Structure 1
Amino acid sequence: MATNAANFVPAAGIQEAIPIWKKIDWSEEVEQGIYKDWGAYYSRRDREDKAMYYYDKALELAPEDFVTLSKRSMSKRKTAKVESALSDSRAAKDMSKNMNKESAFINLEVCEGIYQHNELENAKAALHENTQIFKGNKIQAFVERLIVVDENLKDTCGDGLSPFFLENEKHIYEIKKILDEKMMVDNRPLWKILKEQGKCDVLSIPDIEEEILSPLEIARRKRAFEIFNQIYIDKSWIDVLFLKSLKSNKNLLMDEFKESKDILTKLTTSEYEIVMKFLKMNHVRCPLYANRYQQYPNKEALKKFQEAYLYRVQYQTRRTMLAALRTIRILRAKSDVNRLLNVVESVMGDYVVVKTHRVMPWKFEFIAEVYNTVALTLSEQYTVPNNFKVTKDNALLTLLRHQMDTVKDFPKFKFGDRSTHQEPDLTDPNMLRSRRMISRLEMRMRFAKYSIEKCYLLYQIANIHLKSNRGDECSFAAHKAIEECNKCNSLLWSFLSHILIIRANAALHKFSRTKACLISALSLAEKLNSPRLFSFIDTCMACNKAEYQNKKSSFQINASRRESKLSTVSLQRASKSSMISRGELTRPHSLSSLVME
């Protein structure tokens, strides 16, 4: 009785408003017809989500309505839900067959589902089977679809397939091997599999290795993606790129909008997946190699076109490289080091890394020319200024062009003035910028082939650490740069790396380490046969020696003052004890009196 009474207890809160048409006591057949009509209405206007919703409502009232089920499969096919659409159409076919109401429309829907599932052979077999079942005008739709499927099979397995296999035979076997390994199911325990592979078999959750792509591979995939879209959707390919960018657009998916962010993320992701599924269907029906063969059936014409395109790219690349060299030399003549480093980073980090030796046969010569020019520009700023005094404060750091630490003036907090508020999660933009730059340079280090390029990258990493007052990291990166300099026999980059170590040690007032590094830099200046650098290092050694002497003399003065204080205190205690022994002063009898005295 208690359970029956609980069922009649009204729910708490305000219930959802009931529509007017629901207040009328419709029969289930009429209500199902309403839902079907609404589903058809929204389907005609390409609002398939709404259409599927109302088709689901209609099927709840009449689960054996195979017509509604086939219409729902059509809506699912339009939204690229291929597997679910095929299962609905097959279920509708079985229902109609059991009721002896077999329909050509429903069977054609099954064939369409198989065709969109990229099973061209099975679709052809199903269409042939239906031409034997039905007669008269009902066969016409199956015959027209058979023509389309036959043309797709000609494109995929036609004359364009054999040249593609001959060009990519090696890659095809490698990909097949990878796919076979993925298809294999190993039911052994995970620790046995890892032990056999020579990996750690102790971790219960194995580490997932992140795939790190080179800049050249990233550029190749990006270009292949653009070509793929341009071939299959022509001028609308830019819309696909825009939709892809929306998936990670911070202006659209803002963290502040907590409710709409999840909805928009789901919407952009689902729409992009729908577009890509349809593009893959088009690719299966007419692959890229068939498209190329249709455009250039003559091999000689294709080869001629490829050579002409290669020559155009080589010529444009040569012109771009000469312009970049001209800009670098002009900036060196102006001694504009900061702009020079920015130009070199943009040219070498964004343009040259995506060029192959086929497009740029002179790649190594260009890299060596650019980095040697940068090294010469950096070394030219190390000169002894006129009327320079070795004895002034921070003479060594001034000579090395090291920026002194400046005390930041923090604004005082004023109530009502938001510019003076200190946010708790405020981050330093300079620190974020340096971290991004270091990660970019480290990524380039992974794929750098030449030692002179590694010298430049390690020097830049060390310089960024030095600007952020991280002396140990700077010295570590500079030592690695010196090792790379020894491999490529680059004395100038080795000298510049020594200068960074000297600056890091001088900023921390490590005189002995600075002196040892200055001695090795002096030998490098002698090998470079540069009187300017030799005199610069000689002046640096004099500054380091003068600062060491000043520091030593200040320590001696402080030590003598400390000794004089100790000697006066000891004399006072000795005179006091002698007076007590002579009886001129009485010794205190308790600890409290001694403390008071």
Structure 2
Amino acid sequence: MKDSNLSGPTGVLVANQRPWENIDWPKEQQRWIHRSWGQYFARMRKNSFAHAYFDKCIEEHEGLDHKTLYLRSKFQRSVALIQGALEDSVRATEVREVWNANVSKELADALYELNRFEDNKSLLHDNVRRHAGTALKAFENRLLVVDGNLKDCTGFSLANFFMEHSSQLPGFYDHQQEETQKSDKRPLWKILKERNECDVQSSIDRKEEMLSPLEMERRRRKTKIYYQNYLGRNWTDFIFLKTLRRNPNILLENNFGSSPDRTAYLEHSFQRLKTFTRMLQARSPMYNECFQRSPRMEARMRESNLFRIQYQTRRNMLSILRTIQVLRKKHDLKRLRKFVEDVMGSYVVIKTNRLMPWKAEFMNEVYNNLALSLCEGYRLPPTRVTPYDKGAMCRLLNIPTAKPLEHTEFIFGDRSTYSYAGPEKQSTDRLADQNFIEYLEKRLLFARLPIERSYLLHELADRHMQKNHFVQSLSYAQKAIDEARGCNSRIWEFLSTMLMAKSHAVLHKYERQTEVLNVAYDLATQLKSPQLCTFIELCRMLNKDYITLRKMSQLVTSKRLRTKLSNRSSFFTSPNYSPNFSEIKKQEADLLTA
């Protein structure tokens, strides 16, 4: 035994050891102690201590102990470290001196939890031939389980699934082939040089997958059903954990230094649950779960669920229309436009004709109510309008006064100040406007109804006009007019025409403004609105006065120019003017000699 009273050399600290570590135990006894502590901490769920003692038992002693490897494999399987458990089981199988059924069972369990059913089945058959008696029963039970899993994966349910989705299989196989294809990790310039292509581009442009809002909602719904099937009522906790990974209130990146550790822990927890659901899905796929249910009962439950959603959708639509009527009575145009954008962009767009059979009629009702509210903004001004004020037309058409461009300071390294920062890094109103324009353009790609396309183009034209991009505004307004004519919507054609009038008013294009106002007056006449006709007539009179004043100013300017030229010519032709020819000849001679 070591003498515990002995002290170390002067100036050297004695190692901080436990009392039993000062005893000179034999190597085998020390291994047994470390293994025992590892088992104890594993039972107490102190995983870090258990892992440390198992590692110490294996690494600090000569030779490998198959029992320790077997225990560490069981421990790693209990904490979902299946790959490490498989490696320990394989090592335990290699170093065991005699055949041990427990080690073989541990290896089979590790293969099973890694979803390697074929390897697991072959290993179990091998052990069934090797063992007899009570040890045989455990392998036979495991063999029944894996046979059942293989039957669920490759039985009649798979054939039925292929028959129902045979049209989608070619695209699926092409996608899988692209995913499994090995990527070339060489620099891009080398790859392009071999192809005799231009090597100026330093990075490859990633193709963004454009999905319609309806397709995105379908995928979200399928994901929800997937986790509901395998996690039961705990699927809400899983979705909550998924959102926590990017929650700034949890990560606190700017407050403490533990944000990377917290992020890594949340990501590890999420991936562990995701791996668990994939294990369950591999043992009993979704198509097998659906195949085992009664088709008649499944159809009846589905129809009843659709009817419930349809009924609630109808109630929501009536509530939306009532809200629009209330906002119209309050003349709160800003809130009304925001409400319509939110409802039509996030709720109605994800409803199918099965859930909303009257979808087209509802969209017409909403957009026409919004158009009527926009038309109410064109009213006679309370003050007198004079053509001598160049900003009178802009105020008459409710055009916001032009603001000076916002000074944007770009800071190197601060991505929030870049113009392409994206929706998560908005730092100015300019970026918010740009993101909103991109959002409208994306909605425009998947819009099918002409009245919806007319509304989206009108909003794009209006947003460009607010940003003083009048050429783009005129282009989008003309497209909105074409779409409005396609659906025979006079009111949206009128609103888009008025947007063109606003752009011409800011640009002081009075001749084109005359043509646009004439078209707007005809549309107002077709709408049978005396208020709009009076308003447009006032705009036409003001624009005519502008043209008259411009012509008068041009006449005055030309008259002054003619008077100035005539005065100059009369001076040279007057009898009092006598040029000095000798002086002129002297100047010419000096120029020639020079």
TM-score w.r.t. the length of structure 2 is 0.77
The CA distance in 1 between the partners of 2:175 and 2:547, in whole Å, is 65
From the superposition, tell whether residues 256 and 50 of structure 1 become closer, same or farther in structure 2 (CA, over 3 Å). Answer: same
* Cα deviation, residue 559, structure 1: 10
In the other structure, the counterpart of 1:379 is 375
The CA distance in 2 between the partners of 1:31 and 1:505, in whole Å, is 92
In the other structure, the counterpart of 1:592 is none
In the other structure, the counterpart of 1:315 is 311
The CA distance in 1 between the partners of 2:376 and 2:553, in whole Å, is 35
Task: In structure 2, give the amino acid aligned to 1:179.
Answer: Q
Aligned length: 541
Q: Is the CA contact (8 Å cut-off) linking 1:357 and 1:363 kept in structure 2?
A: yes
2:212 is aligned, of 201, 208, 214, to 214
The CA distance in 2 between the partners of 1:560 and 1:139, in whole Å, is 118
Task: In structure 2, give the amino acid aligned to 1:285.
Answer: R
In the other structure, the counterpart of 2:103 is 106
In the other structure, the counterpart of 1:573 is none
Moved more, 198-207 or 313-322: 198-207
Residue 233 of structure 1 pairs with residue 231 of structure 2: yes
Q: Is the CA contact (8 Å cut-off) linking 1:80 and 1:277 kept in structure 2?
A: no
2:349 is aligned, of 345, 349, 353, to 353
Moved more, 304-313 or 19-28: 19-28
Q: Is the CA contact (8 Å cut-off) linking 1:48 and 1:76 kept in structure 2?
A: no
In the other structure, the counterpart of 1:86 is 86
Q: Deviations over 1:391-425 (max 9, x none)?
A: 474321222122235799x9xxxxxxxxxxxx999
Match runs of 1:199-210 below 5 Å:
205-210=203-208
In the other structure, the counterpart of 1:447 is 446
The CA distance in 2 between the partners of 1:424 and 1:567, in whole Å, is 60
In the other structure, the counterpart of 1:474 is 473
Match runs of 1:187-586 below 5 Å:
205-257=203-255, 259-294=257-292, 296-297=293-294, 299-385=295-381, 388-391=384-387, 393=389, 394-405=391-402, 430-547=429-546
The CA distance in 2 between the partners of 1:199 and 1:451, in whole Å, is 46
* Cα deviation, residue 516, structure 1: 4.3
The CA distance in 1 between the partners of 2:158 and 2:131, in whole Å, is 36
From the superposition, tell whether residues 399 and 59 of structure 1 become closer, same or farther in structure 2 (CA, over 3 Å). Answer: same
SS class of match (1:300): helix
The CA distance in 1 between the partners of 2:238 and 2:255, in whole Å, is 25
Task: In structure 2, give the amino acid aligned to 1:238.
Answer: T
Q: Please list every run of 5 or more consecutive structure 1 residues that lacks an aligned counterpart in the other structure.
A: 1-14, 411-422, 569-577, 582-597
The CA distance in 2 between the partners of 1:78 and 1:211, in whole Å, is 39
From the superposition, tell whether residues 207 and 436 of structure 1 become closer, same or farther in structure 2 (CA, over 3 Å). Answer: closer
From the superposition, tell whether residues 213 and 51 of structure 1 become closer, same or farther in structure 2 (CA, over 3 Å). Answer: farther
Kindly, what percent of the aligned residue pairs are identical? 35
Task: In structure 2, give the amino acid aligned to 1:127.
Answer: L
The CA distance in 2 between the partners of 1:548 and 1:123, in whole Å, is 90
SS class of match (1:145): helix
Task: In structure 2, give the amino acid aligned to 1:361.
Answer: P
* Cα deviation, residue 105, structure 1: 1.5
SS class of match (2:68): helix
Moved more, 340-349 or 83-92: 83-92
SS class of match (1:348): helix
From the superposition, tell whether residues 533 and 290 of structure 1 become closer, same or farther in structure 2 (CA, over 3 Å). Answer: same
Q: Is the CA contact (8 Å cut-off) linking 1:79 and 1:274 kept in structure 2?
A: no
In the other structure, the counterpart of 1:140 is 137
Q: Is the CA contact (8 Å cut-off) linking 1:390 and 1:542 kept in structure 2?
A: no
From the superposition, tell whether residues 220 and 563 of structure 1 become closer, same or farther in structure 2 (CA, over 3 Å). Answer: same
From the superposition, tell whether residues 530 and 287 of structure 1 become closer, same or farther in structure 2 (CA, over 3 Å). Answer: same
Residue 166 of structure 1 pairs with residue 173 of structure 2: no
TM-score w.r.t. the length of structure 1 is 0.77
Residue 129 of structure 1 pairs with residue 126 of structure 2: yes
Match runs of 1:585-596 below 5 Å:
none
Task: In structure 1, give the amino acid aligned to 2:95.
Answer: M
Q: Is the CA contact (8 Å cut-off) linking 2:241 and 2:270 kept in structure 1?
A: yes
In the other structure, the counterpart of 1:6 is none
From the superposition, tell whether residues 127 and 533 of structure 1 become closer, same or farther in structure 2 (CA, over 3 Å). Answer: same
SS class of match (1:252): helix
The CA distance in 1 between the partners of 2:110 and 2:426, in whole Å, is 54
* Cα deviation, residue 381, structure 1: 2.2
Q: Deviations over 1:330-361 (max 9, x none)?
A: 43354432232222112211111111122222
* Cα deviation, residue 484, structure 1: 2.8
* Cα deviation, residue 214, structure 1: 1.8
Q: Please list every run of 5 or more consecutive structure 2 residues that lacks an aligned counterpart in the other structure.
A: 1-11, 408-415, 419-424, 568-576, 581-594
Q: Is the CA contact (8 Å cut-off) linking 2:417 and 2:427 kept in structure 1?
A: no
Moved more, 162-171 or 281-290: 162-171
